[in-house]
């Protein structure tokens, strides 16, 4: 059954059953996943998924249902469930109606890749083993766990107010860990996000090996250091997401749990920091002309020269605040493509791009007499309410004028990330895609590395 047929059938059914308004989200996906265990291909898995989510409104009473679809009858059954749910629900005073059709959209980003959409298992296995072999070629290192997931995703959204949108995209997500095979245990980690199969398998494998070997030779850090701390893109992106991402989520703003409530137009970061949400960027897995409610997206300045310019809204939270949606209501994620119709709409960045600097990372760090370069945290999460950090450092380098003088572990990086955002000492030009963020390596003052006495 074609997605368009599902949308039209569900809309017709909902209105004929007495719903005043209806909105339908449909999705079809193919996912191919490669699993590596102990440096060998453990499993290859191919999944096809077709599903629907139906929202209906009876006045201000709302109902929603979702289902996997294998036959036309299941569309009717899902729609009937949504209508029944609306009839027994309590009125929602914030509901103002589903989106309107006919709104202008941005030019379509190039996020569909035929090679990914039609990738076969043999080619994916080859990619996985290239990473394993490259890792082994650098040192005595193995791959305990590895995943490469590729997917093609097609969505169609329509509602009874004339809104109709179609989107096609591909995604590639990789996450591998490494471990030294003998001697002192050391661990490494690599991830990769793209809409194309443009991963450098040799570089990924070599980085995994170096990470494990660096971790193995690291010594326990003693004392304290308040030298500038440089954090690379993979970890920094998660720190941005759990702090800035949380703070500009309109649900958190509406519920007064964002640290940036009332700060639009005020300074929240160093003048060196500018961030845009850019749905036109083809590097972003979630880039699209519209969000998963059918609302048009737009390139939007979030932080400009350190000043907060805007926050992100989906349809519901926009209604609560009495404003228009910014086109940031998503079901899709950057890591998976299965059962998207079962996921609730949530406020999400489309593609947050942090403005890079002009120097490469090594050149930037070498300009400091002393610096700390983080290689790996246990988990790079910021307290989203307070900004506090107390991150376990698994591997870091003590640097003097760009040269490594000691590699350390068993330490905590402490401080407040919101405060350190105002104390940025350097931004490199090494942009990397990490989920829905594209960030470079950045250096901060105001953090402290704490080890044993």
Residues in the chain, how many?
453
| Radius of gyration for the chain, computed over Cα atoms and rounded to the nearest angstrom | 24
Q: How confident is the model at residue 243 (pLDDT cuts 50, 70, 90)?
A: very high
**What's the confidence (pLDDT) of residue 107?**
87
Residues forming a β-bridge with 300? 277
* pLDDT range class, residue 1, cuts 50, 70, 90: confident
Burial classification of residue 313, based on how many CB atoms lie within 10 Å of its CB (0-12 exposed, 13-18 middle, 19 or more buried): buried
Q: What tens digit of pLDDT does each residue of 386-432 get?
A: 999 999 999 999 999 999 999 999 999 999 999 999 999 999 999 99
* The two structure tokens encoding residue 51: 């599903």
User: Which of the four pLDDT bands, split at 50, 70 and 90, describes residue 210?
Assistant: very high
Q: Where are the domains of the chain?
A: 3-217, 219-450
Contact 296, 265 (CB under 8 A): no
Total-model pTM: 0.95
Convert the pLDDT of each residue in 88-142 to its tens digit.
999 999 999 999 888 888 889 999 999 999 999 999 999 999 999 999 999 899 9
Q: What is the mean pLDDT of residues 320-335?
A: 96
CATH of span 3-217: 3.30.2290.10
């Amino acid at each position: 059954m074609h997605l368009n047929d599902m949308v039209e059938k569900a809309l017709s059914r909902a209105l004929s059953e007495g719903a005043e308004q209806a909105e339908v989200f449909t999705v079809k996906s193919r996912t191919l996943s490669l699993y590596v265990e102990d440096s060998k291909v453990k499993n290859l898995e191919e999944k096809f998924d077709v599903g629907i989510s139906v929202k209906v409104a009876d006045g201000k009473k709302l109902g929603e249902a979702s289902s996997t679809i294998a036959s036309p009858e299941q569309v009717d059954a899902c729609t009937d469930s949504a209508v029944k749910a609306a009839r027994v629900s309590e009125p929602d005073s914030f509901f103002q109606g589903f989106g309107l059709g006919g709104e202008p959209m941005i030019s379509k980003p190039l996020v569909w890749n035929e090679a990914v959409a039609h990738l076969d298992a043999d080619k994916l296995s080859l990619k996985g083993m290239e990473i394993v072999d490259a890792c082994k070629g650098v040192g005595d290192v193995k791959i305990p766990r590895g995943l490469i997931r590729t997917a093609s995703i097609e969505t169609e959204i329509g509602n009874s107010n004339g809104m109709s949108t179609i989107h096609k995209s591909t995604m590639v997500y990789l996450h591998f860990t490494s471990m030294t095979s003998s001697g002192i245990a050391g661990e490494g980690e690599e991830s990769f996000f793209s809409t194309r199969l443009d991963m450098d398998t040799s570089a990924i494998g070599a980085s995994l090996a170096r990470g494990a070997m660096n971790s193995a030779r690291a010594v326990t850090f003693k004392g304290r250091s308040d030298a500038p701390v440089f954090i690379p893109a993979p970890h920094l992106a998660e720190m941005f997401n759990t702090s800035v991402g949380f703070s500009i989520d309109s649900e958190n703003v509406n519920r007064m749990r964002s640290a940036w409530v009332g700060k639009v137009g005020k300074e929240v970061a160093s003048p060196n920091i500018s961030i845009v949400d850019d749905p036109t960027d083809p590097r972003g897995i979630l880039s699209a002309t519209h969000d998963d409610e059918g609302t048009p997206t737009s390139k939007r300045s979030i932080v400009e020269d350190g000043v907060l310019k805007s926050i992100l809204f989906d349809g519901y939270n926009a209604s609560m605040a009495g404003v228009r949606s910014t086109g940031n209501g998503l079901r899709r994620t950057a890591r998976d493509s299965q059962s998207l119709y079962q996921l609730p709409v949530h406020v999400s960045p489309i593609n947050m791009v942090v403005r890079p600097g002009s120097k490469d990372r090594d050149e930037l760090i070498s300009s400091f007499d002393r610096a700390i370069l983080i290689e790996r945290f246990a988990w790079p999460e910021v307290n989203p309410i307070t900004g506090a950090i107390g991150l376990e450092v698994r591997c870091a380098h003590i640097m003097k004028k760009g040269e490594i003088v000691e590699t350390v572990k068993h330490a905590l990086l402490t401080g407040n990330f919101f405060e350190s955002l105002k104390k940025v000492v350097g931004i490199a030009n090494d942009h990397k895609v990490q989920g829905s963020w594209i960030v470079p390596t950045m250096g901060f003052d105001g953090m402290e590395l704490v080890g044993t006495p």
